[in-house]
Amino acid sequence: MDIAETVLRAHLDAGPFLSGVDRGRWRLLVMTWPHAIIAVSAAERPGAPCEYAFRFECTGYPQTPPTAQPWSESADAPLPPDRWPGGRSRVPLAFNPGWKSGQCLYLPCDRHAIEGHDPWRTQHPSLIWSPQRDITQYLQVIYELLNSSDYSGLRSS
C-alpha cells in the first residue's frame, strides 16, 4: 500500500476525524485510493441538502495538500454547478464552479488553488495546508463555510 494511502487511512480512523463524525459534522462515504469521498454537513436552508459530498484527491498525502471538488454520490460524478453551495460573499468565492472548470475549491488549503497564489500564505496563514496535521483541517474550513451566516443554500436558489 502506498505510504500516503496508509497515512490517510490512519487519519480517517483517528480522533480528530472520528470526533467530527461523532458530532455529525462529516462522514466518510467511499475510500478508493487516491480518492476519499466525504460528506460535510450544512446548515439548514430552504430547498438545500443537509450535506454536500466532496471528492478529495490525496496523492502524496499529507506532504502534498489534497484537492477537493463537490461530488454527486448518486451519479458518482462531479456535482452539477446549480447544485453547488451558494452564499453572499465568502461562500460563492470558495465554491466557484467557473474556476478551473469546478475541479477544486478556491481555498488556500487546496493543492490546485494555492498554485500561483503565494500571497495567500501571508494573507490567510490559518487556511494554509500543514503536512503536520490531517485532512480535518480542510474539512473544518468547508464545514465552517457551510454553517456560516454567509451560506444561503443552493447556488441556483
The residues assigned a catalytic role are 109
Query: Which phi and psi angles does 29 have, rounded to 5°?
Result: -95, -55
Helix, strand, coil fractions of the chain, as percent rounded to 5 = 35, 25, 45
63 lies in the binding site for other proteins (CB under 8 A)? no
7 lies in the binding site for other proteins (CB under 8 A)? no
CA pair distance 40, 69, nearest whole angstrom: 12
117 lies in the binding site for other proteins (CB under 8 A)? yes
9 lies in the binding site for other proteins (CB under 8 A)? no
Name the residue nearer to other proteins (CB basis): 27 or 117.
117
Query: How many residues interact with other proteins (rule CB under 8 A)?
Result: 29
- What does each C-alpha distance from 69 to 39, 95, 100, 116, 140 come to in angstroms? 11, 9, 11, 19, 15
Nearest-10 crossing angle of helices 136-146, 15-23: 20
51 lies in the binding site for other proteins (CB under 8 A)? no
Site for other proteins in 81-110 (CB under 8 A): 89-90, 93-94, 106-108
Site for other proteins in 16-35 (CB under 8 A): 16, 18-20, 22-23
Q: Is the dihedral of CA 124, 141, 8, 38 positive or negative?
A: negative
Among 32, 74, 101, 126, binds other proteins (CB under 8 A): 126
* Contacting residues toward other proteins, per CB under 8 A: 14-16, 18-20, 22-23, 89-90, 93-94, 106-108, 117, 119-120, 123-127, 136, 140, 144, 148-150
